[in-house]
Structures are given as structure tokens and as C-alpha cells.
Amino acid sequence: MNRSIILSVVVFFVYLFFQVLILKNAVMFHVAFCFLYIGFLLLLPVETNPLVLMLVGFILGFSIDVFYDSLGLHALASVFIMYLRNYWLAALTPQGGYDANVLPSLANNGLQWFLTYAVPLIFLHHLVLFFTEAGGFDYFWNTLLKVAASTVYTLLMLAIIEYVFPGRKS
């Protein structure tokens, strides 16, 4: 079996178990939730097939749903950002394009590019997740506060992980 596939499966389970064993209870002020597992989805290679992205997003989101008892909310939000990911990457393509087998990571592209890439996708993930969970717009401001606080919390944790474990550089 290909070594990179085995490594990806191991990293998948590390993100999954870290999310459900530690971060499930790491809620700040009952407002900010850290969904670090989407870091795995955001850091998949650029040239990954969109159907594979959505399948991986569904599997990871559904796995989180099983542990969170959230009835498919994480699967929905994860598949949604995996659908949008390639369009967003195409909009952010640097002059000359991406290198082969490049990861859209902080180490490969720098902080400014990484923030431009990750913030909208994390925000949209949280927007879909929390507004679907709320069941509408009855608690609009409270839900928007959760989305904003959780986006900052998740992004901060993802940036820390990226700095501590920079991964492979192209």
C-alpha cells in the first residue's frame, strides 16, 4: 500500500480521536467550540479529486456525528466545505499555479495565503453547522456569535498545530 495513504489514514484517526476525546469538552464560555477536525480536510492535497474530497468529508463528518450525537450536522457542513474547497483554491491560485502534490498549508504558502484560504472555509463550515443546529434564524445573533467565536477558536488552534507540526514542505 502507498505510504502516503497509510499516513493519511493515521492522521485521519489522530484528528478524529483528538476531536472526540479532548476537544469535545474544550468549550469556551458556552460559545466558542473548537472543531479542529476540519483542519484535516483543509490540508488535503490540492489536486485531490472533488468526489474523493466530499467522500472523505462525509466520512469524517459522520464519524464526528456518531460521537457528538448530532444527527448528520457535521457531515453536512464538512461535505459543503469540501464541495467549495476546489473552487476557492482555484480563486486563490498563485501565478504559475500550484506545484504537484502540494498541501495547502501554512508551511507551503505563508500566513497571509493560509488565512485567506482557511478563514472563509472555516466560517462557512461553522455557519452551516450552527444555523442548521439552531433550526432557523430565531436565535440569529446568538448563533452568529457562536459562529464567529468558534471560527476564531478553531483557526487559532489550527494555526498553532500548523506551527508546531509544520508537515512536509514542497
What was the pLDDT predicted at 129?
Answer: 96
d(CA 155, CA 14): 18
Query: Length of the chain, please?
Result: 170
Q: What is the pLDDT of residues 109-148, one digit of tens each?
A: 888 989 999 999 999 999 999 999 998 888 999 999 999 9
Q: Helices marked H in the chain — which ranges?
A: 3-21, 38-42, 50-68, 73-91, 106-109, 111-134, 140-164
Q: What is the pLDDT of residues 40-94, one digit of tens each?
A: 999 998 888 999 999 999 999 999 999 999 999 999 999 999 999 999 998 987 7
What was the pLDDT predicted at 100?
Answer: 66
Q: Given its phi and psi angles, is residue 79 left (phi above 0), alpha (psi -120 to 50 degrees) or beta? A: alpha
pTM (whole model) above 0.85: yes
